Amino acid sequence: MNNDLKKSLVWFRRDLRLYDNAALFHALERSESVFCCFIFDVNILNNLKNKKDRRVEFIWESIRCLKEHLNTLGSDIFVEYGDPKNLIPKLVENLNCDALFINKDYEGYAIDRDNEVASKLLSQNKALFKYKDQVLFEEKEILTANGNPYTVFSPYRNNVLKKITFEGIQQFDCEKNRNRLAKIAQKKLISLEEMGFQQTNLRSLKIEFGTMGANKLLEDFKHRIHHYKDKRDFPATKGVSYLSVHNRFGTVSIRHLARLAIDQQSHGASAWLNELIWRDFYFQILANFPHINEGKSFKQQFDQVKYENDADFFDAWKNAKTGFPIIDSAMLQLNQTGFMHNRLRMVVASFLVKDLLIDWRWGEAYFAEKLIDYDFSANNGGWQWAASTGCDAQPWFRIFNPILQSEKFDSEGKFIKKYIPNLSSLNAKQIHAPWVPFEKDPINFGVHLGKEYPFPIINHKEQRDKALKMYDLKHVV
């Protein structure tokens, strides 16, 4: 039904775009006039220790882009800083809106927040409409033959592909009713400083913001997508899409990405679609197994594992001083850019848990603090996969050898040398385990270990044996 509502408000959250946006589409379909808003949520922001947080700046810049686009259409977006549980009902009332339109969020805090907003709107006799937007399939849309959620990825993926083949992917045309965006005077945008935050190094990193930034990356990736399967595991190669932050904050549509992958019809595109489905898989795990929201292992018997949790080892890992070049270069990439290549995420996670014998939750929390594309479901899923505590995780007795991983995925040491220039003089044989050739001829070796680069803090073989005992199921079941 068109125009059954006079005024509506669309609350943007992790959907910072004006195209293929489910909530915006339905609001424009049903309303004579549609207002837009975004709230910088103090319940989230107050928990961020670092006031130079790249995520906050990325959101702010993308809101600025969204605002500029709305301005060209004679509209604008209300941007406020505070508690949305109070600000949203107040804004709905002040604008005399009949309804609020939102896209669903599946994390614990967001669900509780939205339920409280819904309760306040109900008391005001205002409607709330919620839509699926950040995933292709949500919660219980993809189930086993017995009607249960999937806990193994491959059959889940097969079911998703079958559903897409038969039903296609619905996208939402927000263009046709764009004239229904409320015509309002331009509003002043709150600054980062007014919220207690500062600019970061995003511009020097040449991070692209908003939908235009996402589209530039997507256009570039289109020319490389056919090689994705072959190049995605090599951090020194431009093999991945670099769209993860745009996926996280919705400056690009997941439906748009999936359609692109399907239309390309290549092994590379299929491999990329597979990764998009992994993203959905972890979202439905979060929705259907909420105990992971509480810091528990998906396979809860593994909560009995007794980690050593050496604080000095953890500090060395965080500060890129483990003495393992592939680990340290990966951590430097994270600390300096807020991004880490996916292959390296697996390697450093395995190293923390199964070499340093540190609880995966410590690493999960550190990634949550540092990653610009941080997403609870994917981060938790990735860490539990590496720690062998999650659904469809690697077996507990499978332990990455960091040296072999380095030799395989950064064979010439190009990635290592980019982040650890002190090792630039080493050749491809020396760079992955520099202590080995150093000990044979320390005087003539190109790097003074212990001074220009640390010795390894652990022996992989010894730690591997410890990890196998630590994980032995006889002790944890």
* DSSP 8-state assignment for residue 190: P
C-alpha of 426 from chain center: 34
Residues 6+ apart with CB under 8 A from 289: 149, 298, 391
Contact 408, 347 (CB under 8 A): no
| Residue for token pair 């020097």 | 204
Q: Do 257 and 371 reside in the same domain of the chain?
A: no
CATH code (residue 389): 1.10.579.10
- Give me the mean pLDDT over the 137-144 stretch: 95
CA distance 23 to 13: 11
Q: What is the pLDDT of residue 324?
A: 98
Structural domain of 372: 300-476
CATH number at residue 74: 3.40.50.620
Please, what is the average pLDDT of the chain?
95
Residue 160 has pLDDT above 60, yes or no: yes
Coil, strand or helix: which one is 68? helix
Band of the pLDDT at 477, cuts 50, 70, 90? very low
Helix ranges (H only) for 338-459 are 342-350, 360-370, 376-387, 402-409, 414-419, 435-440
- Beta carbons of 27 and 172 less than 8 angstroms apart: no
355: pLDDT strictly greater than 70: yes
For residue 222, pLDDT over 70 is answered with yes
Cα(81)–Cα(196) distance, rounded to whole angstroms?
A: 11
Q: What is the DSSP string of 428-447?
A: TTTTTSTHHHHHH-TTTSSS
- pLDDT(153) > 50: yes
Residues 328 and 392 in one domain: yes
Q: Which of 40, 75, 67 is nearest to 56 (CA)?
A: 40
Question: Residue 193 domain-assigned?
Answer: no
pLDDT for 476: 44
202: which DSSP letter? Answer: T
- The answer to whether residues 128 and 258 belong to one domain is no
Q: What is the pLDDT of residues 91-111, one digit of tens each?
A: 999 999 999 999 999 999 999
What is the spatial distance between Cα 108 and Cα 113, in angstroms, rounded to a whole number? 9
Asked whether residue 177 is assigned to any structural domain, the reply reads no
At residue 26, φ and ψ (nearest 5 deg) are -70, -35
- At CA 240, angle to CA 132 and CA 255, rounded to 5? 20
For residues 334 and 278, what is the distance between their CA atoms, to the nearest angstrom? 22
CA 261 to chain centroid:
19
| In a shared domain, residues 322 and 465 | yes
56-67 exposure pattern, b = at least 16 Cβ within 10 A, e = fewer: bbbbbbbbebbb
Tokens of 267: 């092994």
CA angle centred on 343, ends 304 and 411, rounded to 5°: 125
Q: How many independent structural domains does the chain possess? A: 3
Percent over 70 (pLDDT), the chain:
99
Sign of CA dihedral 78, 83, 88, 93: negative
The conformation of residue 196, written as its DSSP 8-state character, comes to T
In this structure, are 400 and 323 located in the same domain? yes
DSSP letter for 456, please.
Answer: P
Q: Which helix (H) or strand (E) holds 255?
A: helix 254-264
Contacts (Cβ under 8 Å, ≥6 apart) of 278: 153, 157, 378, 381
Would you give the DSSP letter of residue 353? I
β-pair type (31-41, 5-12): parallel
C-alpha span between 281 and 358 (Å, rounded): 26
Q: Is residue 180 part of a domain?
A: no
- Both 105 and 157 in one domain: the answer is no
pLDDT in the model for residue 474 = 52
- Residue 371 CB burial class (10 angstroms; 0-12, 13-18, ≥19): buried
337 and 469, same domain (yes or no): yes
Give the 3-state secondary structure of residue 44: helix
Write down the pLDDT at residue 13: 98
Does position 350 have pLDDT exceeding 60, yes or no? yes
4 pLDDT exceeds 50?
yes
Q: Are residues 140 and 112 in the same domain?
A: no
In the chain, the amino acid numbered 227 is H
Residues 161 and 27 in one domain: no
Which pLDDT does position 475 carry in this prediction? 47
Query: Average of pLDDT values for 408-435?
Result: 97
> Mean pLDDT across the stretch 65-90?
98
Identify the CA nearest to 400 among candidates 330, 348, 361: 348
Residue 322: count of CB within 10 angstroms of its CB: 25
The per-residue pLDDT for range 422-445, each reduced to its tens digit, is: 999 999 999 999 999 999 999 989
**186 found inside a domain:** no
Q: Which of 133, 156, 190 is the last residue of a domain?
A: 133
If asked whether residues 356 and 242 sit together in one domain, one would say no
Q: Is position 204 within any domain?
A: no
> Nearest to residue 69, comparing CAs of 23, 111, 12?
12
Helices vs strands, H then E, count in the chain: 21, 5
- The per-residue pLDDT for 2 is 64
- Amino acid (1-letter code) at residue 318: K
**Same-domain pairing of 463 and 315:** yes
